[in-house]
Amino acid sequence: MGKISPVSAKYIVHTQIQIDGVVDKPDVIGAIFGQTEGLLGDELELRELQRSGRIGRIEVRLDIRGGKSSGEIIIPSSLDKAETAIIAAALETIQRIGPCNSKVNVENIEDVRISKRDFVIERAKELLRDLTSRVLPDSREITDQVAQSVRMMEIMEYGKDRLAAGPGIEEGDEVIVVEGRADVLNLLKHGIKNAIALNVTSIPETIKELGKRKLLTVFVDGDRGGDLIIKGLINAGVEIDHVIKAPDGKEVEEITKKEIHKALRSKITVQQIKMELGITGRENTEQVQVQQPREIKIENKEPEIIQPQKRTIKPELMKFKDLLDDLVGTRGAYILDEDMNLLGKVPIMELPNTIRNLNSPHAIVFDGYIDRAIVSAAEKSGVKYIAGMKSRVNPRETKIELITSGDF
């Protein structure tokens, strides 16, 4: 008996049967062949069609309940539409199956190609979704990825304690002290190159030496461990200038660029953190694994910072805030013209010479302290505005409008 491959069948005839009695599957198949024999002529004889493979294996499903049988007849066909419809109609002429009366009703003729087409459409949608989710990054994303990998390759070992640090430790006058190598990598990834790891098993001499000649900002995790590290540094005699804490419950190594910049803008002085933590003198209130320092008097070399009164910033100058945020940790400076267009970006060390050589720059925004040298060079070049993180110059001593991050 022939059998059509599911691949080659074009149509499937679905037929329901109701039988007034109990019969077996061979009785149903025998009735199909016997009662349609000679009905449609030689060309549509079911036995011949099945031998030639144009009609597939007839499948019968029966359910016997309460002395009656019901079920389904399924016939695959590779004939054309008209011939398949004729075969289906012929099935409804069957009136008896075995010794019992029966009723046969063709429910539908399924076009296998439509089912395949639906499958193709749904599968194509899935493949397209997968393809679009793995789309190639644009040029900006590629540039960012390459820049991040280069920055992370710049991590180095610093000092006799071989501490993990960024390449900008010696470039500026401020250093950010973090807990471990992973913290340095995260800051480096976001463009902050002046960080150094503490590796908190003991307070390294390298950190103490840096505190004597640079402004130290301690950046710790937002948990109790961060407070212990701050206390340990203070008790060890490290000259800290500012303290920054990550958001509550977060570690420096996991925070985003936006959270880093927000934290940097919120740094507080060491005197404030002492008051918050209840530190007086050099008491050892917590069990922190640090080397016992030599007896020295802790004098915080707090630079003379002019704290301007809070004032309202003109709307057109609010652009300075975004530029300051963008510059945090870069030790760089933006120079703007009268239309607030960017003329260029230079390192802070080159800023005075650059100002002198430019033709009437309008504004300067930089990542650092506004000092007398920068103000003097700016006055000679006709600069109207200077924006920095903090100011060491009294605003009344210059005609230039001085703006700090605290004004926003």
| Residue pLDDT, tens place only, 146-175 | 666 655 567 888 888 888 888 888 887 889
Q: How confident is the model at residue 143 (pLDDT cuts 50, 70, 90)?
A: low
What is the pTM (predicted TM-score) of this model? 0.39
Backbone torsions φ then ψ of 76, nearest 5 degrees: -80, 145
CB within 8 Å of 192: residues ≥ 6 apart: 166, 176, 260, 328, 329, 330
Can you name the CATH fold of 141-277? Dna Topoisomerase Vi A Subunit; Chain: A, domain 2 (3.40.1360)
Amino acid identity at 225: G
The domain ranges of the chain are 11-115, 141-277, 315-407
pLDDT at 72: 93
Look at 129-133, 383-387, 400-404 and tell me which has the smallest mean pLDDT: 129-133
Q: What are phi and psi of 110, to 5 degrees?
A: -90, 130
Q: Which of 187-201, 210-224, 233-247, 296-310 has the lowest mean pLDDT?
A: 296-310
Instruction: Look at residue 16 and tell me whether its pLDDT is greater than 90.
Output: yes
Provide the edge-to-edge strand list for the sheet that holds 268-269: 156-158, 163-165, 195-197, 174-178, 215-220, 242-245, 268-269
What is the reported pLDDT for 1? 42
Lowest-pLDDT choice from 27-41, 228-242, 282-296, 392-406: 282-296
Contact 243, 230 (CB under 8 A): yes
Rounded to the nearest angstrom, the gap between the alpha carbon of residue 322 and the centroid of all alpha carbons in its chain is 23
Q: Token match 């840096």: residue?
A: 210
Contact 320, 365 (CB under 8 A): yes
pLDDT of residue 176: 92
Q: What is the mean pLDDT of residues 367-379?
A: 86
Q: What's the pLDDT at 237?
A: 86
Over residues 99-114, mean pLDDT: 90
Mean pLDDT value across residues 192-197: 89
**CATH fold of the domain at 11-115:** Alpha-Beta Plaits (3.30.70)
Measured CA to CA, the distance from residue 217 to residue 270 in angstroms comes to 9
Q: Which helix (H) or strand (E) holds 115?
A: helix 112-133
The pLDDT of residue 346 is: 85
State the average pLDDT over residues 371-393.
Answer: 87
Per-residue pLDDT tens digits for 17-41: 999 999 998 999 899 988 888 888 8
The answer to whether domain 315-407 has CATH 3.40.140.20 is: yes
Say yes or no to pLDDT of 136 above 90.
no
> How confident is residue 140, by pLDDT bands cut at 50, 70 and 90?
low
